[in-house]
A and B are shown apart, each in its own frame.
Chain A
Amino acid sequence: MLELRRLTKYFGGVRAVDGVDLTVAEGEILGLIGPNGSGKSTIINLICGLFPLTDGEVVFRGTDISTLPPHERVALGIARTFQNIRLFGQLTVWQNLWVAQKARGQGRGFLRGWLGGSRHDRVAIDKTLDFFDLGHKRDELAGNLAFGEQRRLEFARAFAAKPSLLLLDEPAAGMNAEEIDQLDARIRQLRREGVTIVLIEHHVELVMSVTDRIAVLNFGQKIAEGTPAEIQTNPLVREAYLGTQTAA
């Protein structure tokens, strides 16, 4: 479904992402892990089109989308969440989802797309809010929500765009054990509905439990790839996280 070919991004002299090849298959959950600064978030940003590539290609469903602007990539079905919560605080919970909902299929005429808001659309939003346990907050301003609710709303907003590929950037950051269990359940539910997911996460248990495959990054390069079990025993991964073993 998604293929990154020699993906490269330099910020000045910093090689944030350095020739990464990565394939995500339809319907799978891929974990993307690595120490801080290893290029995980940059890869997500590049897939969304937030800044231009230095080199390489992003191929989505067989077409090269490397030069498409972000809103056109969303229209193709790529949505994301942010590591540090980003919401429209001055809009209500409901409004936060309203525009995202039409991110795909704006094509039926300008006016209908912008002024519309059919009964069907409204029901779909209410359903999404219920799924993320936000139904009772629908008319609150997003900025007034508690932290955990904002995290859920961010997830809900990305989901409202009806993505076929969902990029989750540390969705469990700051969550307690119970919230992480709920997150785990939601990710599995989305997969059952056919959404492909790329998950960046530091929470080891969550990554090991929910992903099909894991890719490990270090210094902008992919150092390992495999099933969670394989990754857990990989010596290179240990080295990246814990440092080289020196003879005592």
Chain B
Amino acid sequence: MDDYLVGVLSNIGVVSFVALSAYLLLLTGAISFGQQAFFAIGAYAAGVATALWGWPLAAALALGAAVSAAAAAAVGLPTLRLHGLYFAVATLAFAEMVRLLFELARYQVEIDGELVGPNGADGFRGIRYIFEHDLGPLQFLALIYGLLAAVLIGFMLMERSRLGVALRMVGEDEVLASLNGIAVARLKILAAGLAGALAGLGGGLYAHLTTYVEPRMFDVMLGVHSLAYGLIGGLGTAFGPLVGVLIDIGLLESIRPLAGYRMIVFGGLVALLLIARPRGLLDEAAVHWLQRAWRPRRRP
């Protein structure tokens, strides 16, 4: 595989984590414009862990996911009673706070005569774990997709379980969900925490993929895109947001003649789909139809 293709595929894989993070919240009916913040927190935390503290990659990624999950649960608590636009604005405000915090935060350590670590708006250079440990781009690609596959399997199990059904119930009608015995508040916090962990994991991978992160990468456009992936690809299955990522990065950004028109086409696509298919290409009805076509007389 040529380097360009590996790069594109790695990008698709990493961004899929944020897309799935936003998707998980969309299932519960929460439209978050702030998942990029947890991506950023995961990226910085995992980067600091390997570059400054010399942690192994697995531990660093786990730390990134854990810190992001904790932050997401902490945001989920005060925003529990917010819905729709208000929730969107609150999450956006939080994400911008996080971004500005990273613009200001400095935490550098001298390693081999060189200052390494987050340096405010100048970014965080030298997350060189994959070079220092001779991980080739292909190996890292395999790592990304291995983790993504594990996450997808988790999603598929969850969506077939009562938990998955309960999340969709909360998304469709919170009051009715509570009357079905669902502890709505607890479930929403759980979803927020899991979504944070997913974004954080993706962020950790991203930091090690690019070896360099800066606050500007985690602005609201990333959040808007990760939301749009689910809305384009569909909210009926976890493969929906992946379809969204494939369309955006795989098609629009990577095919060079199209790249210049990317934002125009992407924006148009979102608008078109919101009108024609408000819950995306692979919406619940489509998924239901596919399941029946494949497995007639399926026992859930």
Contacts and interface: CB of A to CB of B under 8 A. Distances in A.
B284 A90 contact: yes
Nearest to B299: A122
A139 B292 contact: yes
Interface residues of B, number: 27
A71 B183 contact: yes
A139 B285 CA distance: 12
Contact of A74 (B157, B180, B299): B180
A82 to B, nearest CB: 8
Interface in B154-188: 157, 161-163, 165-166, 168-169, 172-173, 175-176, 178-184
Contacts of A88: 168-169, 172-173, 176
A99 B299 CA distance: 16
A116 B181 contact: no
Contacts of A157: 180
Contacts of A100: 180-181
Of the listed residues A70, A87, A141, the one surrounded by the most CB atoms of chain B closer than 10 A to its CB is A70
Contacts of A139: 292, 298, 300
B288 interface: yes
A99 B169 contact: yes
Contacts of A161: 180-181
A98 B177 CA distance: 12
B181 A71 contact: yes
A105 to B, nearest CB: 10
Chain B residues touching A, majority SS = helix
Contacts of A122: 299
A80 B179 contact: yes
Given A92-B300, A115-B162, A115-B163, A99 B180 contact: yes
Given A90-B284, A115-B161, A50 B173 contact: no
A106 interface: yes
A70 B162 contact: no
Interface centre among A74, A80, A91, A99 (most CB of B within 10 A): A99
A214 B182 CA distance: 32
A98 B165 contact: yes
A90 B172 contact: yes
A113 interface: yes
Interface string A120-162: 0010000000000000000101000000000000000100010
A70 B179 contact: yes
A113 B182 contact: no
A114 B298 contact: no
Nearest to B235: A90
A91 B161 contact: no
Given A70-B178, A70-B179, A90-B172, A102 B299 contact: no
B300 A114 contact: no
B176 A98 contact: no
Interface of B: 157, 161-163, 165-166, 168-169, 172-173, 175-176, 178-184, 279, 284-285, 288, 292, 298-300
Closest 8 CB pairs of A and B: A103-B181, A70-B178, A90-B284, A74-B181, A114-B163, A100-B180, A115-B161, A71-B178
26 contacts: A69-B183, A70-B175, A71-B180, A71-B182, A74-B178, A74-B181, A88-B169, A88-B173, A90-B168, A90-B279, A90-B285, A91-B165, A91-B169, A92-B288, A95-B300, A99-B162, A99-B165, A99-B180, A100-B180, A102-B162, A102-B181, A106-B181, A115-B161, A117-B300, A122-B299, A139-B298
